[in-house]
Structure 1
């Protein structure tokens, strides 16, 4: 399945230090280049912690002189004071004081690599060498800390595109952000959204009781997301041989699952029958015939399995903890 998702995240338009410039002198000043990369890494560390660059600099100065015996205690204190995690504080210290570069770029960098570095992306970037004709020249292959690969590109209009290329093309998709909405933060958010989508798909296939396409129903997509109010929900999208598309949507907060067929909400017996048909068609059935309880158990297991992934967002782990306590 190929999906084109246009993102319009909040943020300021691209500009300032991220505007591409033309240099008359082709000679590279290595010291200046090193300073530029250091500045990008520092902005990235600040972005991951959700603090300003100046605040990150102040945190780094405090941590630089922190005795080993109280290092963790001081990091915890600063994390609590700045609304971030201890790992964020350690990351700031590593970048500002120890020269760590969480995003490794192989090849000649450009405006795209600078943006995602400043936005806090970690992992590796190398020039794209694939053969997808839809991906523009100058694209980059991104490898996450977990080893997953995506492709990052800009088109001729300046839109930022994140590509997931599935070998069988069953779950290939791309996420597109309009040029006027591209910022370092929105670019990295799109990358993380793509990684999370793949992580949830992998969790379904790797966990016991995961869904599989059958003879009559085909699994199109399984997702775990947050709604506009920040509440997590899960969805199963499936289609059958009659050309009908069904969505099962589970609200983790209420524990209820709704059924929509061809964009029409089903209720009562019709919803029960359709839910049962989808689960049975995707090789997932309860022992006691209670499909509503089965849906709750499936989505809870999916959230828990997905939240363990290295590419899972923080909200997923928090939601899994809440769900597990219910």
Structure 2
């Protein structure tokens, strides 16, 4: 996993600290469409020019607004991301940005959470990755209900090769199982508590995981079934109209975002 990309929490909401150098309150300014289908309100366009420009370059569709010294991006399907300065700095000591997403029906309930740490020049790229990650979590079908494992997180990475990662926690034991899937080579790598597993050990770990969930997926080896789930979720996320452009080459004809609930 590229250490520059993200920090993903384990199904636990984070508090959103106040911060940043701006202290403007929302005034209900009308939206100003600055590029394509990204609608930016006047306050965001006025006080967050550099950040807005970085986000514009990713071609994301949705709305960008400013409130209380923060930015808020809302995707076309209603998923919200808060963008703010939380006190951490980049490698040059400049104030950096955090991107937070906490989608749940009950804000007080435990749920997955995403946090990206970013800089202004990378803000758009990291926001696009955060949107793709949140979509892929919803599309991932292996968390159909396990008697043994808790689904922790799912994330995808844009680099020289497209990678998906899923994390599961053994409910009864202090064991984390991390699975990485390379979409270009179709290969899985397995780690248990940070230690790589290979051969029979990897097969046994994946078999325990797959056999503990309600949905077995296609016939075949447990490793192949898990890879099927991961690849399918990635292609479903890529099928969305507002998915990041770099994912589009992985789209499958006839597979749509609405297919995410199939096999669940």
| TM-score, structure 1 as length reference | 0.57
Give, in whole Å, the separation in 1 of the partners of 2:219 and 2:64: 50
Give, in whole Å, the separation in 1 of the partners of 2:225 and 2:217: 6
Matched ranges for 1:170-319 at <5 A? 170-177=111-118, 181-183=119-121, 186-204=122-140, 209-227=141-159, 230-240=160-170, 241-286=172-217, 288-319=219-250
Give, in whole Å, the separation in 1 of the partners of 2:126 and 2:202: 34
Q: Say whether the 8 Å CA contact 2:239–2:252 is kept in structure 1.
A: no
Structure with higher strand content: 2
Give, in whole Å, the separation in 2 of the partners of 1:220 and 1:5: 15
Number of the residue aligned with 2:39: 103
Displacement of 1:312 after TM fit? 1.6
Give, in whole Å, the separation in 2 of the partners of 1:309 and 1:118: 23
Q: Say whether the 8 Å CA contact 1:250–1:295 is kept in structure 2.
A: no
Secondary structure in 1 matching 2:123: helix
- Once superposed, what is the RMSD of the aligned Cα atoms? 3.1
Give, in whole Å, the separation in 2 of the partners of 1:257 and 1:235: 10
Matched ranges for 1:54-133 at <5 A? 91=36, 102-105=38-41, 107=43, 110-112=46-48, 114-119=49-54, 120=56, 122-128=61-67
Give, in whole Å, the separation in 1 of the partners of 2:235 and 2:129: 18
Please list every run of 5 or more consecutive structure 1 residues that lacks an aligned counterpart in the other structure: 7-19, 22-36, 46-90, 92-100, 129-136
Please list every run of 5 or more consecutive structure 2 residues that lacks an aligned counterpart in the other structure: 8-20, 23-31, 90-94, 256-264
Displacement of 1:109 after TM fit? 5.0
Number of the residue aligned with 1:138: 69
Q: How many correspondences in the alignment?
A: 213
Displacement of 1:219 after TM fit? 0.5
Secondary structure in 2 matching 1:200: helix
**Structure label with greater radius of gyration:** 1
